[in-house]
Chain A
Amino acid sequence: MQIPLPKIDLPRLPFTPEQASTIAGHVDALYLYLILITLFFSILVVVLIFYFAVRYRRRTPDEIPPPVEGSLVLETVWTITPLLIAMTIFVWGASLYFALYRPPTDATEIFVVGKQWMWKFQHTEGLREINELHVPVGAKIKLTMTTEDVIHALAVPAFRIRADVVPGRYTYLWFEATKTGRFHLFCTEYCGTNHSGMNGWVVVQDPAEYQAWLSGGASESPAAQGEKLFQSLGCASCHKMDVQGRGPMLIGLYGKPQKLDNGQEVIADDAYIRESILDPQAKRVLGFGSVIAYIHSLAAPQGGGTANTAAPASGSTTTSGIAPDTQRSNPVGPTSPRTQRNTGGAMQPANANANTPRGTPPP
């Protein structure tokens, strides 16, 4: 059952994120209510303290004021009043919570898998994305989420939604975006070394634009298409946008001179970039030989799981007898209960028995 929420049209308050979902205005309204309560009580207490502290300051060193008896009436008043106010907040908060965590039945489902350290999204049409989620504006979207490894949490501040993503179980979120644009999406449950890199964007598009995107994105600019390739081919996992990854940072690179590890310098022009994409080793940027050295070391054949290549944390000393690769060679679970239909066996569970989520998959 969906609790219908009254329509709220609240202007955006300072220091709040954009209101980009139907629920956002409601959360902000509750926020405003709570701020007013906070202001009222803190100003009350602070003003009283200041007033008393000045009015009744000590005038002579040996002054002893007469004792004041307690007052049952006052105690009752300031027990009952906050209790009543607290109950209003409780009811308001709880009704919002139910609205947030009860996906409408007519919502479009999108499957989400968290993984150290990226978000994988899969549309019912079969399209997959990483760290970016395209949705049409004004549509109810339900996210069915799980994780391959540790607990993550998906949060979109502009939508005021968040839920933990728990291994071995499905969790759900839903939203209805009200405006187009790009909105930050974060992992907010600490999940290891690159936790802060596990973020991305929700791209809210006009329905027509979204349809075009779904059907291959022909209408997009070459730069936008390139970005998609950059993301989907995994380049982004080493060439990071905000921190120094395993590959050189690409922001501000174009047209600038680059120091190479053989001491030479090249201008990062079209020719150099094309050459580096096709043959990364031809001219290597100074300081980025380690991955290549690592690949060299793999020349001798080695056994073991390469299915999941997420490397263990840097300085991977194992303290407790758990070899990092044995932990990781058994990634949990499918993307979604419906994956089989859409993608064949690509995302089959690795160990169906142990991985069956506690809940029954949605019908």
Chain B
Amino acid sequence: MSAADTPIDPLNPVMPDPSALPADSPEWRVKFPHVNYINAHYGIKSWLLTKDHKRIALLYLASVTVFFALGGAYAIAIRLELLTPPGDFVQAHTYNKLFTQHGIIMIFFFLIPSIPAVLGNFLVPLMIGAKDLAFPRINLLSWYIYIAGALFTIWALLNGGIDTGWTFYVPYSTSFSNTYVVVAGLGIFITGFSSILTGLNFIVTIHTMRAPGMTWFRLPLFIWSTYATSLIMVLGTPVIAITILLVALERLAHIGIFDPRLGGDPVLFQHMFWFYSHPAVYIMVLPSMGVVSEIVATFSRKNIFGYSFVAFSSLAIAIFGFLVWGHHMFTSSQSVYASMIFSFVSFAVAIPSAVKVFNWTATLYKGSISYDTPMLYALGFIGLFTMGGLTGLFLAALGMDVHLTDTYFIVAHFHYIMVGGALMGYMGGLHYWWPKITGRLYPEGWGRFSALVIFVGFNLTFFPLFLAGYMGMPRRYHAYAEEFQVLNVMSTAGASILGFGLLIPGIYFLWSMRYGKFAAPNPWPATGLEWRTLSPPPTENFASTPIVTWEAYEFRPIEEMEVIGPAPEQSSRPVPGLTTT
């Protein structure tokens, strides 16, 4: 009987003989894991007071998952209500709260923090070869701010909710809604600062903390897109903060800045709101584009076709994204000339997105393509994002938008970008870096299966809504006209498949944290710096500051991609609780 089979008595631990175990076998890894960021410290305090960007990423992962589940539950309720034309499942007032809260939670508490705060936090220092973000304490603070904002919002939800739509259009939100607008607004206001601090941290880190040799054009494309995202966070978020502040003041003290009865202008609110909220769409989808660039390169073992075009298209999207907000207001009584400017720039901003899609596709050419789960998500992303982007052209076209805006066409379009784009990228990224984050592999078969289920469920949910939209079905309708029912039944059926598909990864990710196979430092293999340290990485990421001498996505045989960090044998130490010393 070998030492590995001996049951260990936790009260009287006996040190097994290391020589009886083959080095770096699974048994070895259980008994002698290398010191990494997860096992370096124990106890709840070591997590809540951590300044390690990787641990903060996990804190974010846990919190956004909770909010995703909550937002998803609202989505299911909405789809159930829309199964039949009359409003029979919930009251109209309740339904209005459902879609408002679905929107607020999914946008401000899931999509905006998801990739930047979870994957970005984890990966930015690893990818550029730094020990941590530039301001670790501010990083932790931003998580606490996020939680504080979340608590405010949850308080508003528990106390009766909010029914203004996530867009908070005045004067409904300021003078007519009898719900918890100020509290929920305060929650979003606070959470905004979390987003600002995260973006600030990334910008400074990427500028000042790159490892020697890591020039701008050797950066992984994920870093470029995170950088572009951070620019939007920093430049846009303060505007939504002041806007919400003004809404609250208007509501509490009738300052009249938006209220026409006091000389204000409700359309000004829309300008200020969309100044942030349109670029916010790019906060959600740009990081996904970065993830997809990484995945496509790794799983076709090819350098990204037109690297610099993809890199600069991220910046172009971030910058031009600030010039197009008026396309949300074509029917709002905005000046027709202003509409023309905004429409024109909207078409211009479509180009960098198209360039990205073409470059990803071209990257596959003469590659060595494997169909691992992250790649399925990435390919799904390209297809769905293409659909979402092209339907965006419908909405940017002025005369067309008049017929389509505020219908289900809009709903379908932005879900193709938000779910088909941002969520697919997030799921792909989570699978791709899961071995690095946890040191364990997820079950590949289940991964592929759920990716397909999600893809099918997603399309069934949202494609019919394009048709319903063109037929004229208005959005945010609790009860709708009979002629739209067939499409809505399809959508609800799709939503149940989508919901089921999303449950599967939830289960196997949890399972794999304990039972998954151990991951090698570079399981795929990929080229980024993050793959040259151990899985999971040690607290300071690399044993010594890496010196980068290779270009981005320079694929070489795996033996040549040495691990910068202590070999597992050297760094091993017994699991606490099993030591005798």
The chain A residues found within 8 Å of chain B, CB to CB, are: 15-17, 26-27, 30-31, 34, 37-38, 41-42, 45-46, 48-49, 52-53, 56-59, 62-68, 70-71, 74-75, 78-79, 82-83, 86-87, 89-90, 92-101, 116, 149-151, 153, 155, 157-158, 160-164, 166-169, 171, 184, 186-197, 199, 242-243, 312-322, 324, 327, 330, 332, 351, 354-355, 358
Looking at A53, A56, A93, which has the most chain B CB atoms within 10 Å of its CB?
A: A93
Tell whether B558 is near chain A: CB-to-CB under 8 Å: yes
Shortest B527–chain A CB gap in Å is 11
Quick one: given A164-B332, A196-B480, are A86 and B261 in contact (CB under 8 Å)? no
Contact B96 A93 (CB under 8 A): no
Tell whether B555 is near chain A: CB-to-CB under 8 Å: yes
Which residues of the other chain, B, contact A332 by a CB distance below 8 angstroms? 260-261
Contact A94 B367 (CB under 8 A): no
Looking at B167, B178, B556, which has the most chain A CB atoms within 10 Å of its CB?
A: B178
Binds A, one of B190-198, B272-280, B343-351: B343-351
> How far is B344's CA from A45's CA once the two chains are assembled, in angstroms?
25
> How far is B163's CA from A193's CA once the two chains are assembled, in angstroms?
8
Shortest B265–chain A CB gap in Å is 7
What are 23 A-B interface contacts by the 8 Å CB criterion?
Answer: A27-B403, A31-B394, A38-B390, A41-B386, A42-B390, A45-B382, A49-B379, A57-B370, A63-B301, A64-B368, A65-B555, A86-B393, A93-B396, A153-B406, A155-B407, A157-B403, A161-B403, A188-B475, A190-B165, A194-B92, A199-B481, A315-B93, A320-B251
Contact flags B552-579 to A (C-beta < 8 A → 1, else 0) = 0111111000000000000000000000
Which residues of the other chain, B, contact A65 by a CB distance below 8 angstroms? 300-302, 366-368, 555
> How far is B390's CA from A92's CA once the two chains are assembled, in angstroms?
16
Which residues of the other chain, B, contact A316 by a CB distance below 8 angstroms? 178
A163 to chain B: closest residue by CB: B331
Which residues of the other chain, B, contact A169 by a CB distance below 8 angstroms? 260, 333
Shortest A299–chain B CB gap in Å is 26
Which residues of the other chain, A, contact B332 by a CB distance below 8 angstroms? 151, 164, 166
Shortest A112–chain B CB gap in Å is 14
Contact A242 B479 (CB under 8 A): yes
Contact A327 B175 (CB under 8 A): yes
Contact flags B281-324 to A (C-beta < 8 A → 1, else 0) = 00000000000000000001111011111000000000000000
Contact A99 B472 (CB under 8 A): no
Looking at A101, A169, A317, A319, which has the most chain B CB atoms within 10 Å of its CB?
A: A319
Quick one: given A52-B367, A53-B364, A319-B179, are A162 and B402 in contact (CB under 8 Å)? yes
Q: Which of B172, B178, B351, B394 is within 8 Å of A150, CB to CB?
A: B172
Shortest B187–chain A CB gap in Å is 14
Contact B177 A192 (CB under 8 A): yes
> Which B residues between 390 and 422 are near A, CB-CB below 8 angstroms?
390-391, 393-394, 396-403, 405-407
Which residues of the other chain, B, contact A82 by a CB distance below 8 angstroms? 350-351, 354
> How far is B177's CA from A316's CA once the two chains are assembled, in angstroms?
9
Given contact pairs A82-B351, A196-B478, A354-B263, enumerate 10 new A-B contacts (beta carbons under 8 Å): A41-B386, A53-B369, A57-B371, A58-B301, A64-B368, A93-B399, A150-B176, A155-B474, A332-B260, A354-B261
Contact A190 B386 (CB under 8 A): no
Shortest A35–chain B CB gap in Å is 9
Shortest A244–chain B CB gap in Å is 8
Shortest A144–chain B CB gap in Å is 13
A77 to chain B: closest residue by CB: B358
Looking at A26, A95, A313, A332, which has the most chain B CB atoms within 10 Å of its CB?
A: A313
Tell whether B535 is near chain A: CB-to-CB under 8 Å: no
Shortest A18–chain B CB gap in Å is 10
Contact B251 A96 (CB under 8 A): no
Q: Which of B91, B369, B475, B557 is within 8 Å of A62, CB to CB?
A: B557
> How far is B362's CA from A68's CA once the two chains are assembled, in angstroms?
10
Contact B402 A190 (CB under 8 A): no
A186 to chain B: closest residue by CB: B474
Shortest B243–chain A CB gap in Å is 16
> Which B residues between 355 and 396 are near A, CB-CB below 8 angstroms?
355, 357-359, 361-362, 364-371, 379, 382-383, 386-387, 390-391, 393-394, 396
> How far is B170's CA from A149's CA once the two chains are assembled, in angstroms?
10
Tell whether B85 is near chain A: CB-to-CB under 8 Å: yes
Shortest A54–chain B CB gap in Å is 9
> How far is B554's CA from A153's CA once the two chains are assembled, in angstroms?
55
Contact B406 A155 (CB under 8 A): yes
Shortest B36–chain A CB gap in Å is 27
Contact A30 B397 (CB under 8 A): yes
Interface size class of B (residues with CB under 8 A): 35 or more
Q: Which of B96, B251, B301 is within 8 Å of A322, CB to CB?
A: B251
B401 to chain A: closest residue by CB: A93
> How far is B390's CA from A52's CA once the two chains are assembled, in angstroms?
22
A95 to chain B: closest residue by CB: B399
Contact B347 A87 (CB under 8 A): yes
B361 to chain A: closest residue by CB: A48
Which residues of the other chain, B, contact A92 by a CB distance below 8 angstroms? 397, 399
> How far is B347's CA from A87's CA once the two chains are assembled, in angstroms?
7
Shortest B50–chain A CB gap in Å is 37
Contact B172 A191 (CB under 8 A): yes
Which residues of the other chain, B, contact A70 by a CB distance below 8 angstroms? 305-309
Shortest A295–chain B CB gap in Å is 22
Which residues of the other chain, A, contact B167 by a CB distance below 8 angstroms? 190
> How far is B479's CA from A71's CA once the two chains are assembled, in angstroms?
53
Contact B305 A68 (CB under 8 A): yes
Which residues of the other chain, B, contact A186 by a CB distance below 8 angstroms? 472, 474
B180 to chain A: closest residue by CB: A319
A83 to chain B: closest residue by CB: B351
Which residues of the other chain, A, contact B302 by a CB distance below 8 angstroms? 65, 67-68
> How far is B340's CA from A74's CA once the two chains are assembled, in angstroms?
30
Which residues of the other chain, B, contact A242 by a CB distance below 8 angstroms? 85-87, 479
Q: Which of B86, B266, B406 is within 8 Å of A162, CB to CB?
A: B406
Shortest A324–chain B CB gap in Å is 6
Which residues of the other chain, A, contact B244 by a CB distance below 8 angstroms? none
Contact B331 A162 (CB under 8 A): yes
**Lowest 7 A-B CB distances belong to which pairs?**
A96-B399, A157-B472, A168-B260, A93-B397, A97-B398, A52-B364, A196-B477
Which residues of the other chain, A, contact B379 by a CB distance below 8 angstroms? 49, 53
Shortest B520–chain A CB gap in Å is 13
Contact B402 A327 (CB under 8 A): no
Contact B470 A16 (CB under 8 A): yes
Quick one: given A45-B357, A319-B179, are A188 and B169 in contact (CB under 8 Å)? no
> How far is B454's CA from A114's CA once the two chains are assembled, in angstroms?
42
Contact A90 B93 (CB under 8 A): no
Shortest B441–chain A CB gap in Å is 16
Tell whether B182 is near chain A: CB-to-CB under 8 Å: yes
Contact B267 A166 (CB under 8 A): yes
Contact flags B53-83 to A (C-beta < 8 A → 1, else 0) = 0000000000000000000000000000000
> Which B residues between 84 and 98 are near A, CB-CB below 8 angstroms?
85-88, 91-93, 96
Which residues of the other chain, A, contact B383 by a CB distance below 8 angstroms? 42, 45-46, 49
B99 to chain A: closest residue by CB: A190
Looking at B165, B181, B303, B368, which has the most chain A CB atoms within 10 Å of its CB?
A: B368
Looking at A116, A189, A321, which has the most chain B CB atoms within 10 Å of its CB?
A: A189
Which residues of the other chain, B, contact A189 by a CB distance below 8 angstroms? 169, 406
Q: Which of A16, A53, A153, A166 is within 8 Å of B371, CB to CB?
A: A53
Contact B261 A324 (CB under 8 A): no
> How far is B267's CA from A166's CA once the two chains are assembled, in angstroms?
8
Contact A188 B407 (CB under 8 A): yes
